[in-house]
Homo-oligomer: A and B are copies of this chain.
């Protein structure tokens, strides 16, 4: 329990983790950014919702620390929008005692929350904790299996050489499958891993799997690559092709 601020490397990657701090109160923002900076993170800041979205788009942070109360667009909405653009862990800052908000935050998909006033130390611990469990695997190198190839950096996917036009979610889903061939995942697993949150209607996963099949499989009605495991979920089967 000596030096809590030991510099941290991003999980799996060989660069420092980027954190985006969103708060309209400069004091809070300053303090938070300061501590995270000293803890060895690359910190970016935004003081309202729209700015946060732009910054997130530009800098692709590994984690977002987000105040629940923001002028204009509140934290929940920002969180939702961030999530819609791809899986990114979010830590919510809430006023003490906003019980309802906290539960709400968790349901919307915050990975954790910290109540104000908080000690910076606590925040840093939280950030480390969330980052640690967010992505042990890098997910930036090209992948290929069963005639399907995915290039995460270029955000392009091909099937037998021909390009697939996938949406964001479809791409993330396919990437995840390629990263874990032969393994069975529940819808819940996929929701957590691909969408980035633990709650929500699981039929969403079903629908996206169907759409992905429609683009990847020869005969979507009799899928070979993405097989369904009855009563469990789905499994990517590279050998199926």
Which positions in A face B, CB cutoff 8 Å?
Answer: 1-2, 4, 11, 96-97, 99-100, 102-103, 106-107, 115, 117-119, 121-122, 125-126, 128-129, 132-133, 153-156, 167-168, 182-184, 186, 188-189, 192, 198-202, 229-232, 235
A186 to B12, CA, bound (A): 11
Report whether A198 and B122 are in contact in the complex, using a CB–CB cutoff of 8 Å: no
Partner of A122 from the list B2, B102, B118 (CB cut-off 8 Å) is B102
CB distance from A14 to the nearest CB of B (A): 14
Report whether A235 and B184 are in contact in the complex, using a CB–CB cutoff of 8 Å: no
Report whether B154 and A235 are in contact in the complex, using a CB–CB cutoff of 8 Å: yes
- With A96-B96, A119-B103, A200-B1 known as contacts, the answer to whether A154 contacts B125 (CB < 8 A) is no
Closest 9 pairs between A and B when the two form their complex, measured CB to CB: A168-B231, A155-B184, A103-B122, A106-B125, A153-B183, A154-B182, A155-B229, A103-B121, A2-B199
